């Protein structure tokens, strides 16, 4: 399987790229995060800048105009961004899951048609999988694709779809055979552009992860041609989607690690500024114990993310490693943001301090791209499979 990775990235190239990302995060992402979060305002100018930086083509092969980054470098970028604001990483995560599925499973014609435009951000995509009755259990989806003379007619409602409002295309999971047993053998993936029959019904309000277009999407007699069927084969949709989700879970794990790291940095700074009983609270042992625990979880998270990313780069199956990283790092994000809230005390409840945003954002990483309970099951099953007696 071709991973699309450009193996010519030297350690010096990596350092130059990550230094550039550091400057972008500090100078362009950090200053707007609080305002856009509080107003739930889409960061359109930032998205245009992300196009210029090549982030929409981060993991797409250079053959199609992408950067061809190995997942190990890509994950470091995601962590850096999320340590300041989680939203930008979500905008290009869903997009790159779609691109990864096309590069892995698409026909030559599909790759030539879609990947160059996805790499530049001319096309900005996502994945339309979940429905009101089907999240973790994707085999329960009700969206259907009925064959006709022009190709397929899509009908159904999708929920919690990122990039559906401000993006212009999606990979849609639908059932082409309602009687298939097991159900996944009747599921197919379709590459779908915006247009007639594709209606974004409403933008969903959320506790956190604001400023990103998470929407309800209705497909009503959405006509697509036969060339829209990913790989040109019916019945492989769930397999194709899950292949793309490996990269998505590494992204979510990296965002969890980033949230944890950002919360730790804020807590370390505040603990040295805030004084109680005549000394900085950083000198109180109770605070030191919290900081030590947070720092340990941050480093462990980053190492697990790196391990999963390196396995992904080899083209090997890595659902166990990605599951471990996603589970542990997202929980670390929740833990560290919560402990930082305790360290900030009463001020943590004020939007003047950004730690409350980290706290609101963190929990989503335990749910998105497959719940952490599902990740534990995946890890356990793979552990047994790899150690048969």
Is-above-0.85 flag for pTM? yes
Encoded tokens for 254: 């990296």
How far is the C-alpha of 114 from the C-alpha of 112, rounded, in Å? 6
Burial of 303 (0-12, 13-18, 19+ CB in 10 A): middle
Structural domain includes residue 34: yes
Number of structural domains found in the chain: 3
Domain-terminating residue out of 54, 87, 120: 120
Catalytic residues: 369
pLDDT in tens, the chain (389 residues): 444 555 678 889 999 999 999 999 999 999 999 999 999 999 999 999 999 999 999 999 999 999 999 999 999 999 999 999 999 999 999 999 999 999 999 999 999 999 999 999 999 999 999 999 988 889 999 999 999 999 999 999 999 999 999 999 999 999 999 999 999 999 999 999 999 999 999 999 999 999 999 999 999 999 999 999 999 999 999 999 888 788 899 999 999 999 999 999 999 999 999 999 999 999 999 999 999 999 999 999 999 999 999 999 998 889 999 999 999 999 999 999 999 999 999 999 999 999 999 999 999 999 988 899 999 999 999 999 999 99
Q: In this structure, what DSSP letter does residue 266 have?
A: H
Structural domain includes residue 3: no
Domain-terminating residue out of 120, 150, 166: 120
How far is the C-alpha of 46 from the C-alpha of 32, rounded, in Å? 9
CATH of the domain at 113: 1.10.540.10
Residue-range definition of the domain harbouring residue 131: 127-233
Q: What does 151-181 look like in DSSP terms, one character per residue?
A: EEEEEEEEEEEETTTTSSEEEEEEES-TT-S
Structural domain includes residue 95: yes
For residues 69 and 9, the answer to whether their CB atoms sit within 8 Å is yes
Structural domain includes residue 355: yes
Domain-terminating residue out of 207, 233, 259: 233
Structural domain includes residue 4: no
């Amino acid at each position: 399987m071709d991973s699309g990775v450009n193996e010519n990235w030297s350690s010096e190239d990596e350092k130059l790229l990550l230094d550039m990302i550091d400057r972008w995060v500090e100078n362009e992402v950090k200053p707007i995060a609080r305002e856009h979060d509080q107003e739930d305002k889409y960061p359109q100018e930032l998205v245009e800048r992300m196009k210029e930086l090549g982030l929409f083509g981060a993991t797409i092969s250079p053959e199609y105009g992408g950067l061809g980054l190995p997942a190990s470098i890509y994950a470091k970028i995601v962590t850096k961004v999320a340590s300041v604001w989680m939203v930008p990483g979500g905008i290009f995560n869903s997009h790159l899951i779609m691109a990864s599925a096309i590069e892995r499973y698409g026909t030559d014609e599909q790759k030539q048609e879609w990947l160059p435009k996805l790499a530049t951000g001319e096309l900005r995509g996502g994945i339309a999988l979940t429905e009101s009755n089907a999240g973790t259990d994707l085999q329960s989806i009700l969206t259907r694709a009925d064959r006709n003379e022009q190709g397929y007619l899509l009908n159904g409602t999708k929920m919690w779809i990122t990039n559906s409002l401000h993006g212009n295309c999606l990979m849609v999971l639908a059932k082409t055979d309602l009687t298939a047993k097991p159900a996944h053998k009747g599921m197919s993936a379709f590459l779908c552009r915006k247009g007639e029959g594709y209606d974004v019904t409403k933008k969903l309000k959320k506790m956190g992860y604001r400023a990103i277009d998470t929407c309800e999407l209705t497909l009503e007699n959405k006509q697509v041609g036969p060339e829209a069927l990913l790989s040109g084969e019916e019945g492989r949709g769930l397999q194709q989607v899950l292949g793309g989700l490996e990269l998505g879970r590494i992204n979510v794990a990296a965002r969890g690690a980033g949230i944890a790291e950002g919360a730790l940095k804020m807590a370390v700074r505040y603990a040295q500024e805030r004084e109680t009983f005549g000394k900085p609270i950083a000198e109180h042992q109770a605070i030191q114990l919290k900081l030590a625990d947070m720092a340990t979880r941050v480093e462990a998270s980053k190492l697990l993310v790196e391990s999963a990313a390196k396995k992904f780069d080899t083209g090997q199956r890595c659902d166990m490693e990605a599951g471990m990283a996603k589970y542990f790092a997202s929980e670390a994000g929740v833990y560290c943001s919560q402990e930082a809230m305790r360290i900030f005390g009463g001020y943590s409840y004020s939007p003047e301090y950004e730690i409350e945003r980290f706290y609101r954002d963190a929990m989503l990483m335990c749910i998105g791209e497959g719940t952490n309970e599902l990740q534990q099951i995946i890890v356990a099953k793979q552990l047994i499979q790899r150690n048969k007696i």
